């Protein structure tokens, strides 16, 4: 329900309410990274959140920050 309510916030800009990556994105990235492994479904219009996550997940800094265990949770998007 909270994910559904937050969809407009993810549509507002390339990153979370900002054209550039910020601390807010760094805080949300690990949560979004884990959603799939926790079987938390995205809302029907959740493609926006998935696309947002993928923009962050492609960031070399994000990839370097992952532990070996976190890397096993899902694959890094290309």
CATH number of 23's domain: 1.20.1050.10
Q: How far, CA to CA in Å, does 2 sit from each of 6, 15, 69? A: 6, 18, 27
Give, in degrees to the nearest 5, the angle at Cα 75 between 72 and 78. 155
Q: pLDDT value at position 70?
A: 94
Supply the range of the domain harboring residue 8: 2-71
Residue 30 lies in a domain: yes
Residue 78 lies in a domain: no
DSSP 32: H
Query: Tokens for 22?
Result: 């910020």
pLDDT digits (tens, 9 = 90+) for 9-57: 888 899 988 899 999 999 999 999 999 999 998 888 889 999 999 999 9
Residue 61 lies in a domain: yes
Q: pLDDT value at position 14?
A: 92
Residue 7 lies in a domain: yes
Distance CA 22, CA 47 (A): 21
Q: pLDDT value at position 2?
A: 78
Q: How many domains does the chain have?
A: 1
Question: In this structure, what are the phi and psi dihedrals at residue 69, rounded to the nearest 5 degrees?
Answer: -65, -40
pTM: 0.84
């Amino acid at each position: 329900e909270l994910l559904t309510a937050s969809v407009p916030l993810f549509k507002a800009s390339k990153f979370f309410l900002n054209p550039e990556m910020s601390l807010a994105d760094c805080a949300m990235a690990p949560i979004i990274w884990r959603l799939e492994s926790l079987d938390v479904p995205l809302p029907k219009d959740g493609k926006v959140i998935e696309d947002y996550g993928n923009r962050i997940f492609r960031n070399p800094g994000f990839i370097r920050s992952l532990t070996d265990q976190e890397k096993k949770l899902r694959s890094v998007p290309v």
